[in-house]
Structures are given as C-alpha cells and as structure tokens.
Structure 1
Amino acid sequence: MSGAELDAAGITDPELRLAYACCRELNALHGRTYFLATRLLSRAQRPAVHALYGFARWADDIVDVARPGECDADRAARLDAVARELFAGLDRGGSTVPVLAAVIDTAFRYGLDRGLFQDFLRSMRMDLEVTHYPDRAALDRYVRGSAEVIGLEVLPVLRTVGAVEMAAPHAAALGKAFQLTNFLRDVAEDLDRGRIYLPADELAAHGVDRDLLQWCRRRGCTDLRVREALAEQHATTRRIYRFARAGIPLLDPISRPCVETAAVLYQEILDRIEAADFAVFTRRAVVGRWRRFRVAGVGLGRAAWARRVDRVDGPTGAHRPRTRPATVRTANPPQHGIAHRDSSRGGGR
C-alpha cells in the first residue's frame, strides 16, 4: 500500500501499516473490479476498504480453499479460531494477526457494529454446512451475512450527505446484487463444490433440480428449462440493482464515482451472461480489461472533479473516522491458503 494512502488515513504505527498493506494485497489479487473501483476513492478512504475486503477474502478462502488433507471440520475449526481472535481483538483493541489487526483498527475508526461481523461469520460457517437453499427467504438469510453486511460496513467509509439510515438499505442492496450476480456467473463452479446458491423452489417451478444442473455441467450445455430459470434469477437481480443504484446520490460526492463504477461493471457481467444465452456451464462471464479501464477512466474524471469541489467548498460527508492513538502489534503475515481468482462472497465472489 502506498505510504501516501496510509499517511492520509492517519495510520502511523509501522506494524499496523504492514497489516493494512497485507489487506491491500488480498484486494489487488482477488478483487479486480473492486480494487479498480477503490482507486477512485480518496487516499484516506482506501485503507479501510482494503481492510474490510481483505478480511472477507481471508474468511472466504478458509471455507472455499482446503489445505492438503483438510476436511470440513478442520476448516470449521479454523474459521472458529478466526472468529474468537476477531472478537477478542475487538474487546482488547488489537490483534497480532495482520488481517485482523487492520480490520479491528478500521472497526474502531468508523464505529462499526460488531453484529455485522457476527452475521458475516455466520454465513461463512453456513458454507461448510449448507449445500442448497429451499427458498428465497433461506437464501436471503445467507446473503444478509455474506454480502449485505459488507455494504453496511463500507458505508461509514464512503460517508453520506444525509442520515446514514436513508442510505443503508441501498448499500445493503448493492452488496446483495453483487452477490446474486456472482451466483449466476459461478453456477458451474459452485456445483463443483457441491453447492447451489439459487432458491430450490424457484428452480423447481421451471422443472429444474440438482440432477438437471449437474447434467448440464457434465454436458457443457444449458437445458431450456435451466435457461428459463436462470433468466428469472437474472431479472430479479436487475431489479435489485435498480433499487441499489438509487442510493448512490445519497453518498458523499467523492465516493459516488467508485460505487457507480463497481455497479456498472458488475451489471455488465449480467449483460454478458444474457448475451451468451446463459451458457454458464461452459464459460465464465467476465468484463474485459480494456472495458474495465474505460469505465474506470470515466469514473476517475468524475472523482477528480468531486475532490476539487470538496477542496473548494469543504467536506460534505456526514461521517468522519475517529483518530486511533493506540498501537496495535502485528506478527508476520500467516499463510492463508489463498486461491488466485477474482471472487469473494464478502462482496465480490
């Protein structure tokens, strides 16, 4: 992480700076869209977003990427150990684990509710215990922790122009829309892990079940019934994006280009899924590098203008981070078993 970002955020402790740098590396490796969009934020905002994403990425890898000879019970034990250390660290004000040191510091600076972390870890645990969701309500309970809370955690960092309560439902909805986009994009990959993140009753209405999905995976084709079911999920996700994006004007002007860029690029994943006629079993829908840079370039111009206005007129955001005088000790970065892929259930699988 650049020293300028850490300086702007008021992060001066050397070991804590290394902890934030570890989180930034996780974001850069796995969150191509998110990392690019984060570059549109002010320097002072970026470390906190990296910390929140890095923690989500780390926990997600625990449940998704098994070490050699490791079973689900072993991964559950590792996840439980992370949870114990996180909440103990929140109580005592720090941790010796770099990712946790950074996210705890961020939680303190922005006054984040520890219940958000509890909800997130509960959903991560579900990935080790639940292989399908019978209906929309059950899936929503999972998505609440795996995605909506990420939007709510980031909201104080982004800041709002009015009451945070007005923007919160939209922030949660955007996290949800990103997650549902991932579910559509990653149907085949999730099947390979034995999981289905689509409501079983909504699939059944089109004559679709696990056996048919697995048949499509083996054959590399999309049955007409599956195509119709995926199209319905696609339409649902579009509606959630429309509600979520209505909240962007409620954010601090400096933060709007970042969120708009991420929303545009993620919606383009939906465009590519639809353009490929829902051929999700043979290809992974992606937005190309040059298209990402082009959209980000537009956002960069808007971000530069917003910062210029902010310097002239003064800050408009309703939330500013607290100072953090305490020193948080960190140890050498642990081995996380990180897989090199652009995915994270915590706001961007």
Structure 2
Amino acid sequence: MMRTELDAAGIRAAGLRESYQRCRELNARHGRTFFLATRLLAPAQRPAIHALYGFARWVDDIVDEPRIDEAAGAAEARLDAVARALRDSLCGTPGDDPIFAALADTSARYRIDHSLFDDFLDSMRMDLTVTDYQDRAALDRYMHGSAAVIGLQVLPVLGTVGSNADAAPYAAALGRAFQLTNFLRDIAEDLDRGRVYLPADELAAFGVDRARLQWCRTHRRTDARVRSALAAQHAVARAWYRYADTGISLLHPVSRPCVATAATLYSGILDRIEDTRFAVFSERATVGNARRVRVAGSALARALWARRGDRARALPQVGYFVR
C-alpha cells in the first residue's frame, strides 16, 4: 500500500521513499485514530501527512519519554540538535534521521511556512520547564505551537476551495480541539509527568487545584468538584469542535471525509469521558474498534465519490493543493 501512495505522490528516490515509510510506521503505531482517517485521503496526499505526523510525534517523544540514561538537560540538548537539523533540512541539507528528509520534501512540495515548525519546537521546549498554566491565555500560547500549527501545516496538503487564509482559523481550532481532548483523557498520565494542561484559574473557580487533582490521581476517583471543573473544559472542547466543523466545507472535497471522520472519532473520546462521568483517573477513554470501523466505513463511500469528481480527476500528483 505504501508503494502505491509513494508512486501516486511522485516520490521516486529510494532513500526518500524509505524516509516516508519510516514516518508512516510512526503514524500507524502511535496515532491509530488519525492513521485510520488518513486512509480516506487520496493516495497522493498520504505520504505528506505521514511526514508531518512523524516529525511531530518524534519530537514529542523527546520531551515526554526521555531516555532512562539521560542526564539532566539532555532532552533540551536533543531539542537544540533537532532545531539545528531542521533548519539545515529545510535549507536543503537533511539530517541523519530519515524523518528530516521526508519533512523537508513535504515542506518544499507544499510550500509550508517554516515558521510553523519553529512555533512547534518552541512549545515542545516549554514542556521541559513549564508545569502549570495560570490562565487560558497562557495555555493558548502553548497550544498555538503544539496543536494549532499542526492544523495549519496539514492545510496545504488537504487543499481548500478558496484561500488557505479563509480555512486557517478552522484548521487551527480543530488542532486545539484534538489537543484539549487529549488533555482531558490523559490528565492522570500528565500528572505523573508533573504537568497540568488545564488553566489554573478556571479550575480554581470550582475549588480545584493541583493538590486536589493529585488526590484524585492517588485515589483513582473523580470527586464532585473536579468533575464539575472537567465538565467545563469538556464544554470548551465541544465548542471548538463545533466551530471547526463549520470550516470543513472550505476544504477540497477529496479531503472532507478524512477530516470529518477524524473529528467524529476524536470527539467520540469526549463522549466516552462523559459516559464514564469523567472517570479519567481510573481509566483511559478510548473509541472502540467497532465504532472506528463503522465511522470510517460510512465515510469511505463519500471519499471514493469525491475522488471520482471532476476536480479529483484533474488532480496532479504534486502542487495541486498549494494555493
């Protein structure tokens, strides 16, 4: 299947094909919901999405899963090395890791703004020192680089029926919705890493602080105050999904089933959290395989129909989605 995708995208060089394959493997292993949604894209689009996801996942692991034998400051040094290799790669000299080759190729093909990668690394660097966010503005600064820019990076690959600028706010909002969903689902794991990714002042409005969250983690239960605080954040995520949904029509028809499916499946995690009455300290909310297949299966017909449309038939392998 990967060979078909690479052929469709016009990626011929053996070394570059191996680089894209590495990114695809990362996507398939770590982003099951997202990877399933990418199957609804045209084959020519998929390698670029895998490259962008592969880079983001690889860097995220540097700050979230440090090596056991690393000394203090080693993760920061590795991020510095990534930043240097990224600059070299985007200027035409990919680093040793194959991920850089695929990322640089994707960036050049779709003319992705290099500052988006810098913003992403800035937020990843914050994870090394910042453990709490006092208000929504502080969290938004982090989420711009860690989530919103991901939506903006993939937008040129997805394509739009108008200008990218028109669709950009919706793409950024969907990235934020995905990430806030993760923050709610993974609150226990994040506490174990010493982090709280929810605005402290908004939690305090319900009488909740880090100590109260840690109590819930220790006792594997969600008390009434914390449940109310999480419900308020849950409502914020829902609002972002609703806003992002209104922008799906601005995407190229070929890309709409993929994005709609990803949004449906990810918002399904919110459904599961709500169904368990916010029992996020005792279980990890997931979308079952049966629902994944059911949602993706219903979207497949729409995806195939869109690919057969006049615009899809005229689709060049490279450059069509760049506006």
After superposition, give the CA deviation of every residue in 1:280-304 in whole Å (9 maximum; x if it has no partner): 1000000001110110001111101
**What SS class does the counterpart of residue 221 from structure 1 fall into?**
coil
Cross-structure match for 2:278: 278
Aligned residue number for residue 300 of structure 2: 300
For residues 22-171 of structure 1, the aligned pairs below 5 Å read: 22-171=22-171
Q: Which amino acid aligns with 2:234?
A: H
Alignment deviations for residues 293-331 of structure 1 (CA, whole Å, 9 cap, x no partner): 110001111101111114686459xx6268xxxxxxxxx
How far off its partner does 1:71 sit?
A: 4.0
Count of aligned residue pairs for this structure pair: 322
Q: Which amino acid aligns with 1:199?
A: P
Residues 188, 280 of structure 1: 8 Å contact kept: yes
Question: 1:269 corresponds to which residue?
Answer: 269
Give yes or no for contact 2:152–2:172 (8 Å, CA) kept in 1.
yes
Deviations 1:170-213 (A, max 9, x none): 00100010000000000101000000000000001111001010
In 2, are the aligned partners of 1:186 and 1:284 still within 8 Å (CA)? yes
Check whether the contact 1:94–1:105 (CA below 8 A) recurs between aligned residues. Answer: no
Gaps of 5+ in 1: 323-349
- In the other structure, the counterpart of 2:204 is 204
Could you tell me which residue of structure 2 aligns to residue 213 of structure 1?
A: 213
Whether contact under 8 Å (2:254, 2:312) holds in the other structure is no
Instruction: List gaps (5 residues or longer) in structure 2.
Output: none
CA distance in 1, matches of 2:312, 2:274: 44
Partner of 1:338: none
Q: Is the 8 A contact 2:85 2:94 kept in 1?
A: no
CA distance, structure 2, for counterparts of residue 62 and residue 261 of structure 1:
29
Partner of 2:190: 190
Q: Which amino acid aligns with 1:295?
A: V
RMSD between aligned residues: 1.7
Secondary structure at the counterpart of residue 237 of structure 2: helix
1:175 lines up with 2:175 in the alignment:
yes
Decide which moves more: 86-95 or 2-11.
Answer: 86-95
Structure 2 Cα separation of the partners of residues 321 and 85 of structure 1: 27
Taking a change above 3 Å as real, the CA distance of residues 127 and 290 of structure 1, as seen in their structure-2 partners, is same
The amino acid of 1:118's aligned partner reads D
Structure 2 residue identity aligned to 1:18: E
Deviation at 1:2, TM superposition (A): 1.6
Residue 73 of structure 2 aligns to a residue whose secondary structure is: helix
Tell me which amino acid in the other structure corresponds to 2:26.
L
**Cα distance per residue 1:64-87 (max 9 Å; x no partner):** 111122245101111110111011
Q: Structure 1 residues 159, 72: closer, same or farther in 2, change over 3 A? A: farther
CA contact (8 A) 2:37 2:258 kept: yes
**Which amino acid in the other structure matches residue 137 of structure 1?**
A
> Which is worse superposed, 305-314 or 274-283?
305-314
Letter in 2 for 1:76: E
Specify the alignment match of 1:224 in structure 2: 224
Instruction: Give the distance between the partners of 2:95 and 2:39, measured in 1 at CA.
Output: 27
1:293 is paired with a residue of what secondary structure? Answer: helix
Cα distance between partner residues in 2 of 1:181 and 1:298: 23
Aligned 8 A contact 2:158 2:321 in 1:
no
Distance, in Å, in 1 between the alignment partners of 2:94 and 2:310 is 33
- Tell me which amino acid in the other structure corresponds to 2:274: E
Partner SS state of residue 278, structure 2: coil
Q: Which one has the bigger helix percentage?
A: 2
Q: Is the 8 A contact 1:23 1:99 kept in 2?
A: yes
Instruction: Please give the TM-score of this superposition, normalised by the length of structure 2.
Output: 0.96
Within 2, Cα distance between the matches of 1:23 and 1:270? 28
Residues 236-256 of structure 1, C-alpha deviation per residue, up to 9 Å, x if partnerless? 111111111111000000000
Does structure 1 conserve the Cα–Cα contact (< 8 Å) formed by 2:92 and 2:104?
Answer: no
Alpha-carbon distance between aligned partners in 1 of 2:176 and 2:52, rounded to the nearest angstrom? 16
Please tell me whether the aligned partners of residues 51 and 103 of structure 1 are also in contact (alpha carbons under 8 angstroms): yes
Q: Which has the higher contact order (CA 8 A, sep 6+)?
A: 1
* TM-score normalised over the length of structure 1: 0.89
Residue pair 1:109, 1:321 contacting (<8 A) in 2 also: no
Alignment check: 8 A CA contact 1:23 1:53 kept:
yes
Q: CA deviation at 1:120?
A: 0.1
